[in-house]
Amino acid sequence: MTESAPIIAVNRNEAFKDEAAGLPLPSVEVKIAEDGEILARGPNIMKGYYNNPEATRAAITADGWLHTGDEASIDDRGLVRITGRIKDLIIRGGENISPKEIEDCLREHPAVADAYVYGLPDEFFGEIVAAAVRVKAEDGRAALGEPPCADDLIRWCTDRLARFKVPKHVRFVTAFPMTASGKVQKFKLREEHLG
């Protein structure tokens, strides 16, 4: 990220097999906040946003810790593993739900090419889990029979995830809205769903 000029951790050979972001750079400190966000502090961290002290205070604590916006874990070897984006967290009835775990589960289904999970507003729970799914092309699905329906994928998740993480809604798409840099725009998936 630009605010960290632009690296916090480097993926070395041992980290490749673990699919981790890597080990923090020398002289860079990292820690996990209570909400699971990774914070970083070191000589590579920016001093602040130009002429924007309010944004600077929101991004960097008084003692120099940068809020990265990434949800992460650090193992006993010090390897940093990015598990999602804090702003993508779904808060259902007080439970924090990481979309990545549900996305990984859906991608394990033999007929699913890709999936992205997002929260939808709900009067009772605050948010509920929804998924946008792209199924494999016809030729790649020949041996699988009929394409799955929403109920099939909900059952698939029910057998593999805690009940509160199971998507309430599954929507099939042919493409995902993307940024110019190739990242899926989950807010647009939410808008499309509600629209």
119 and 190 within one domain: yes
188 and 102 within one domain: yes
Listed residue (169, 63, 68) closest to 115, CA to CA: 169
Find tokens 């799955």 and name the residue. Answer: 148
Query: pLDDT tens digits for 102-122?
Result: 999 999 999 999 999 999 999
Domain boundary residue, one of 36, 66, 86? 86
Q: Which residues pair with 10 in a beta bridge?
A: 23
173 and 118 within one domain: yes
54 and 114 within one domain: no
Distance CA 20, CA 133 (A): 25
Tell me, rounded to whole angstroms, the distance of Cα 69 from its chain centroid: 10
Structure tokens at 65: 């810790």
150-158 vs 99-107: helix axis angle to the nearest 10? 110
Distance CA 168, CA 69 (A): 26
The band of 142, judged by pLDDT with boundaries at 50, 70 and 90, is very low
Domain boundary residue, one of 29, 51, 86? 86
Domain count, the chain: 2
9 and 75 within one domain: yes
121 and 27 within one domain: no
97 and 76 within one domain: no
Distance CA 111, CA 16 (A): 27
149 and 82 within one domain: no
- A 10 A CB-CB count for 166 gives 20
Which CATH number fits the domain that encloses residue 51?
2.30.38.10
pTM: predicted TM-score of the whole model, two decimal places = 0.68
120 and 157 within one domain: yes
Domain boundary residue, one of 70, 86, 102? 86
65 and 145 within one domain: no
82 and 123 within one domain: no
The band of 28, judged by pLDDT with boundaries at 50, 70 and 90, is very high
Which residues in the chain belong to E strands, given as ranges?
9-10, 23-24, 29-32, 37-41, 66-74, 80-85, 90-92, 95-97, 112-122, 126-135, 169-172
Range of the domain at 163: 89-194
Cβ-based neighbours of 143, under 8 Å, separated by 6 or more: none
The band of 174, judged by pLDDT with boundaries at 50, 70 and 90, is very high
79 and 6 within one domain: yes
Which CATH number fits the domain that encloses residue 116?
3.30.300.30
Query: pLDDT tens digits for 45-87?
Result: 999 999 999 999 999 999 999 999 888 899 888 889 887 788 7
pLDDT higher than 90, residue 167: yes
